């Protein structure tokens, strides 16, 4: 009997527990989470199309327009000149840059001049007897002949007989041999072809210089050239003589140059054309890095924006009734920081700063950016 009573009580307890749990579950109400609407603030301004000047930026290093690589055509020992042969040394036009010892060769030239003088002297008796009419001019030539000076030009030979007589005695061949030796003697002194400075020196005093050896570099510091590469689409807009504004790396100094030359060949790899800008200023140095700003053309009905505002597939963000949207635009020119676009109607509210995480359909509110510039 006791077992039966305990069994009944156990069953009743289980049933009561089940009914109680069911009632508790039925009466339990879970509060639904409230979704907060996040409205992102964007910087925007009305678009206004206008004429945008296209300024092409290009850069490069200055090079002297007139430069000479110094080579020796003769052999000898480098002797001290009026100035030291060192980088940075300035010379005036006609001053001696390099003096090579020519004492041995000069003696050879004097010997050849003496031989020519002796040849002409040997024919004078025959000229007096057989050609008395041409004797005076050859006598005058001998009188003016000085072996320590440059050999004077031979008298003009007007008749065939005179030419045959002079040539037959070997005077013409001897004369041109002497002139050849004299020309080579001049090459022992290398003179400055223009006002400038030495930028490179490869020899010092006492060096044995050999024929064909490079000695250094000499440049003119009055005029420099800047070589820049321009896209082929704008190459036809460049004109020789057009003024160009140049600035240094920091943008602190500006110089005025002009287009001096334009290469007629397009680089096959980069599809660019090389232009050469001529500039002159006493503060310029060879090798200086300069940036050129070329006014190529103007685009009408266009807007210039920051490149970060241009999305994939050439879209930009606009705001329509507090909803962010995308519209397609046509980029016409990219600079380093900005892009010129077309296809934005006047009055369109467009984002003036990048929208982080932005997407079409996002709910936004506009913050009027007074400093944003949409041209």
Cβ count near 8 (within 10 Å): 10
Considering only residues 331 and 28, tell me which one the structure prediction assigns the higher pLDDT: 331
156 pLDDT band, cuts 50/70/90, is: confident
User: Residues 331-362: pLDDT tens digits?
Assistant: 888 877 888 999 899 989 998 888 888 888 88
Cα 213 to Cα 77: distance, rounded to the nearest angstrom: 12
What's the length of the chain?
Answer: 375
DSSP 154: P
CATH topology of domain 67-101+188-219: OB fold (Dihydrolipoamide Acetyltransferase, E2P) (2.40.50)
Give domain 56-63+222-297's CATH architecture. Beta Barrel (2.40)
Please state which of the ranges 29-33, 74-78, 127-131, 221-225 shows the lowest mean pLDDT: 29-33
Between 35 and 216, residue with greater pLDDT: 216
Pairing state between β 272-279 and 50-64 = unpaired
pLDDT, the chain, mean: 84
The whole-number average pLDDT for the span 225-240 is 78
pLDDT of residue 215: 93
Cα maximum dimension of the chain: 183
C-alpha span between 214 and 199 (Å, rounded): 13
- In the chain, residues under CATH classification 2.40.420.20 are 42-52+300-368
Q: Where in the chain is the domain with CATH 2.40.50.100?
A: 67-101+188-219
Q: Is the pLDDT of residue 49 over 90?
A: yes
Bridge partners (DSSP) of residue 90 are: 197
Q: Residues 324-337: what's their mean pLDDT?
A: 86
pLDDT reading at 220 higher than 90: yes
Per residue in 51-105, pLDDT (tens digit) is 988 877 788 899 999 999 999 999 999 988 778 899 999 999 989 999 999 988 8
Residue 180 has pLDDT above 90, yes or no: yes
Q: What is the pLDDT of residues 118-154, one digit of tens each?
A: 999 998 888 888 888 888 998 998 888 888 888 899 9
According to DSSP, residue 80 is labeled P
* Residue scoring higher pLDDT (114 or 9): 114
Pairing type for strands 40-46 and 364-368 reads: parallel
Q: Quickly count: other Cβ atoms within 10 Å of residue 233's Cβ.
A: 12
Question: Three-class SS of residue 104?
Answer: helix
Tell me, which fold does domain 42-52+300-368 have in CATH? 2.40.420
The CATH 2.40.30.170 portion of the chain extends over 56-63+222-297
For residue 109 the two structure tokens come to 């030239």
DSSP bridge partners of 12: none
């Amino acid at each position: 009997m006791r077992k039966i009573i305990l069994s009944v009580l156990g069953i009743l307890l289980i049933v009561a527990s089940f009914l109680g749990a069911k009632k508790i579950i039925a009466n339990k109400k879970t509060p639904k989470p409230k979704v907060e609407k996040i409205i992102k603030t964007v910087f925007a301004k009305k678009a206004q199309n206008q004429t945008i000047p296209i300024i092409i930026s290009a850069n490069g290093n200055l090079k002297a327009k007139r430069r000479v690589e110094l080579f020796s055509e003769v052999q000898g020992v480098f002797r001290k000149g009026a100035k030291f042969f060192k980088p940075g040394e300035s010379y005036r036009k006609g001053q001696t840059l390099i003096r090579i010892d020519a004492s041995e060769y000069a003696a050879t030239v004097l010997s050849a001049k003496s031989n020519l003088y002796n040849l002409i002297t040997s024919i004078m008796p025959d000229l007096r007897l057989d050609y008395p009419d041409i004797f005076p001019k050859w006598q005058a030539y001998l009188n003016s002949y000085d072996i320590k000076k440059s050999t004077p030009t031979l008298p003009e030979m007007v008749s065939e007989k005179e030419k045959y007589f002079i040539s037959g005695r070997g005077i013409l061949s001897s004369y041109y041999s002497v002139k050849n030796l004299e020309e080579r003697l001049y090459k022992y002194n290398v003179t400055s072809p223009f006002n400038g400075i030495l930028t490179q020196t490869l020899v010092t005093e006492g060096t044995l210089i050999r024929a064909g050896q490079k000695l250094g570099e000499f440049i003119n510091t009055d005029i420099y050239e800047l070589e820049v590469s321009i896209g082929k689409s704008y190459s036809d807009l460049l004109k020789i003589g057009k003024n160009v504004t140049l600035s240094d790396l920091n943008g602190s100094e500006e110089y005025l140059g002009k287009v001096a030359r334009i290469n007629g060949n397009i680089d096959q790899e980069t599809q660019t054309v090389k232009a050469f800008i001529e500039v002159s200023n006493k503060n310029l140095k060879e090798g200086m890095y300069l940036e050129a700003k070329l006014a190529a053309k103007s685009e009408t009905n266009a807007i210039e924006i920051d490149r970060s505002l241009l999305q994939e597939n050439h879209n930009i963000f606009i705001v329509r009734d507090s909803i962010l949207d995308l519209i397609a635009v046509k980029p016409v020119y990219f600079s380093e920081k900005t892009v010129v676009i077309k296809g934005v109607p006047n009055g369109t509210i467009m984002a003036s700063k990048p929208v982080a995480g932005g997407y079409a359909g996002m709910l936004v509110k506009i913050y009027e950016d007074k400093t944003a510039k949409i041209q």
